[in-house]
Structure 1
């Protein structure tokens, strides 16, 4: 990392939160404010100037925020006043769903680990690594029909266990 990049990184750590709040007051959108601040620092980092002060970064972020507003007006993308983004449904899975999925994955991994070694190897190569039956047969040094038999047996055993 160059001395210039280290200097910008320290400035970023010191000024990031304050700049984000400043730009948010201008653009009225937290996500856009974050983008503007990131762009300001990226621009400064790309200039390779020997010194960048906090005042310079504030001015750069202010200019980018004003450009953002101008461009948004031009495109007609200004958010409606009073729209509460907190009321929009979050499409990410809930913590309970994540815990459930992790539990099911753990059970599956334990069941796969409990398979006999040869059956497990054929199953993992085919179903997890995506190799064809012929590729699995070649890698394991067995016939294609044996690979198919091992995978079918593995699926049946996993179905019984799960």
Structure 2
């Protein structure tokens, strides 16, 4: 590929362009944080006060640098993080490294929690603006709407 074939898009100039550029990234970045931090951190703060604040700060810094280095490794070595993990030494099951198997199990368990996160978001939206006199119906409608909004943001890229 020669340098003439590379075209870099300019920065967005309008609010909708900016939202379109950062929207999907914000959703994906938010999914890295997860509900564990949102639920566990205040509970631990109530139990221990500021004694464990250092652990929260260190975990946030480590997550940031870990994501940067994973991206850098993918660019430099021209292979996906999954290909890099699959090259680790150790046993393989049908060509998939042991770390890949563990990652898949973790991904399935994480995906199972997404329904709960959507329902929690629907509960917040229901408290802000009920869509029906029946709480269950309103929550169901909001759950579907939250799913469709998240899907639309991710689909548009």
Give the TM-score category using the shorter length: under 0.3
Higher relative contact order (CA 8 A, sep 6+): 2
TM-score (normalizing by structure 2): 0.21
The structure number with the bigger radius of gyration is: 1
TM-score (normalizing by structure 1): 0.21
